Amino acid sequence: MLNQAMTSTRNNNEFRSGASDAVTGSLLGCALGDSIGLPFEGISARRIRRLNPGPLRQRLLFGYGMISDDTEHSCIVAQALIASGGDAGAFGRNMAWRLRWWLATLPAGIGLGTLRSAIKLWLGFPYHQSGARSAGNGPMMRSAIIGAYAGGDDRLREDLVAVSSRITHSDARAERAAQVIACATALALDNETISPARAESYFGKWARNDEALKALLQRAAQSAADNQSAQQFCVDNDMRKGVSGFCYSTLAVVLQIWFRHYDDAETAITEAVRCGGDTDTVAAIVGGMVGARTGRHGLPQHWLRCLNDWPRSVKWMESLCDQLSQCRESGVRQRPKYVFYPFALARNLLFILIVLAHGFRRLAPPY
């Protein structure tokens, strides 16, 4: 009896530390992908090879990296989950307020769909009517953290992804892509082996009435099964210049990489960045998915040491995730860790200057 009780306590603790590690790994994995990909955003695969032929590292500011909207949105989702205790309606209302104030801090590089919806929120639209008609990447970039949080609770995960997506994007494709990302993240949480041959059984649900999504899943799975590189996959699928901000282009590349490297964050993020185009977002999504599987300690530690931002520092994100895990276990809402908005505004003004200076530097050779 005592043995049984001890085993049960141990299993519970293992579950707890595992769940906590998944959300922390997911958020930090997203931040790493974002910070490694950001300096290369909008340039081609060929130019990235010329600029950085060796192993990738952070390089935005003297060898250190910063985060952008992709990670900030994942933090906003985590805060709204903590404040709502995972109740979908409360989550939507809370997230809507956070997006309003996030816009007020003048974030650089905000997507058009997200900008239009945040303005609609300020004009008084409720969170379920504020989405802009856009099939951009916004919903996908904040979806892995929901997969890590909800895990195998399909109903909870799908409800939360639907709310999170529709706040900014009303196009059904953007939501379906976000559902696939959260589902994939949750699938890989246990120690199961992921196989591209099972793509249909993993994600077929969302492709039932969507021929484009069905074809995309088949292409990505086949390419991964053939062990093609992501760059070659891009060349074969009209993305020679890089991955666009259209959700289905991004989803195809993300899945192609995830099928092959779902437990290796460094390789997955490197492949994502080397495809060119929307590098920070593609790498942030891949990093968020893989990080949920590997946990914090499975992430490349040399990259984590060079991630340097404020007020959303690595330490800040770690304690936000601890709070999120406690909240998931207890089901009790809490007041989440916050960012003092004037600090975020000051940081963003400095960030715009850094990004501009980096942009000018990129005009110089090698081409």
**Binding site residues, Mg ion, CB under 5 A:** 68-70, 280
Least separation, in Å, of the C-beta of 137 and Mg ion? 9
What is the enclosing helix (H) or strand (E) of 194? none
User: Cβ contacts of residue 68 below 8 Å, gap of 6+?
Assistant: 34, 38, 107, 108, 109, 280
By beta-carbon proximity to Mg ion, the closer residue of 142 and 260 is 142
Q: Which of 287, 256, 148 is nearest to 194 (CA)?
A: 256
The residue among 19 and 284 lying less far from Mg ion, judged by its C-beta, is: 284
* DSSP three-state, residue 44: strand
Bond from prior residue into 39 cis (ω within 30 degrees of 0): no
Closest residue to Mg ion using C-beta atoms? 68
State residue 243 phi and psi, 5-degree precision: -80, 130
Q: How is residue 192 annotated by DSSP?
A: P
Specify which residues 307 forms β-bridges with.
Answer: 65
Instruction: Give me the least distance between CB of 136 and Mg ion, in Å please.
Output: 12
Nearer to Mg ion, 69 or 158 (CB): 69
Q: Which stretches within 188-229 are classed as H helix?
A: 199-207, 211-225
Tokens of 50: 């010329």
Residue 350 beta carbon to Mg ion: minimum distance, rounded to whole angstroms: 17
Quote the CA–CA distance of 314 and 97 in Å, as a whole number: 24
Shortest distance in whole angstroms from residue 98 CB to Mg ion:
17
Cα–Cα–Cα angle for 10, 263, 210, nearest 5°?
110
CB of 69 to Mg ion, least distance (A): 5
User: Which CB sits closer to Mg ion, 70 or 158?
Assistant: 70
The nearer residue to Mg ion, 158 or 280, going by C-beta atoms, is 280
Sign of CA dihedral 86, 134, 31, 252: positive
- Is 70 or 175 the residue whose CB approaches Mg ion more closely? 70
Smallest separation (angstroms) from Mg ion to the CB of 207: 27
Cβ 250 to Mg ion shortest distance, Å: 12
Residue closer to Mg ion (CB basis): 66 or 188? 66
